Amino acid sequence: MAVSETKSQHVLVVNDTEEILDLFRDIVEGLGHRMTAWSYSPDDLAKVTEIQPDLIILDLMLGPTELQGWALLQKVRMNPPTESIPVVVCTAATNWVREQEGWLAANAVKVVLKPFKVAHLEHAIRQALELPGVTASAELVEDEPGAEPGSSSPESADADTPTSQEN
């Protein structure tokens, strides 16, 4: 896999599963970027403000309430020193993402749904770093790079997710 022609950037990954953090490290470093990995803690916003990463990849389902990732995302967007940091949400919370689609789009948050193909996450990372203010819909991120929107393979569809899109 070719290393991106852009300069190495700092990617913060927040996830509470060690195996996922290891996978993300392989992906992020394979793209030529540095990665910091964190499990969620109540002072993560202060840490984010301190290190000022170029990108945050965040799972929404963190901590005992399973929505601490969502709380951290809101804090990042409401905090002036961190509000412009690009964010990619990588989550299995398909229904939640659909319910919050307007907020996510308005706040330029890209979404990759789990389970995902590595190529989908790589595409979202590149897009977030190159075009931070542009939001791709979950449908576009789910599709194969270069494929027509809406032509995602059956294995990338969530069993609980309807196959037709509502407008």
pLDDT the model gives residue 157: 38
Instruction: Give the rounded distance of the alpha carbon of 163 from its chain centre.
Output: 22
Per the DSSP assignment, residues forming a β-bridge with 38 are 14
pLDDT the model gives residue 165: 35
Q: Taking each helix axis from N to C terminus, what angle separates 118-130 and 18-30, rounded to the nearest 10 degrees? A: 60
Q: CB neighbours of 58 closer than 8 A, spacing ≥ 6?
A: 13, 14, 15, 69, 72, 73, 87, 88, 89, 90
pLDDT the model gives residue 125: 97
| pLDDT profile of the chain (167 residues), mean per 10 | 65 93 97 92 84 95 80 93 96 93 94 95 96 57 44 38 35
**Cα–Cα distance, 165 to 4 (Å, whole number):** 33
pTM beyond cutoff 0.85: no
pLDDT the model gives residue 77: 95
**Cα–Cα distance, 19 to 37 (Å, whole number):** 11
pLDDT the model gives residue 135: 55
pLDDT the model gives residue 131: 85
pLDDT the model gives residue 61: 87
Full set of structural domains in the chain with CATH: 10-144 (3.40.50.2300)
- Convert the pLDDT of each residue in 148-165 to its tens digit: 444 333 333 333 333 333
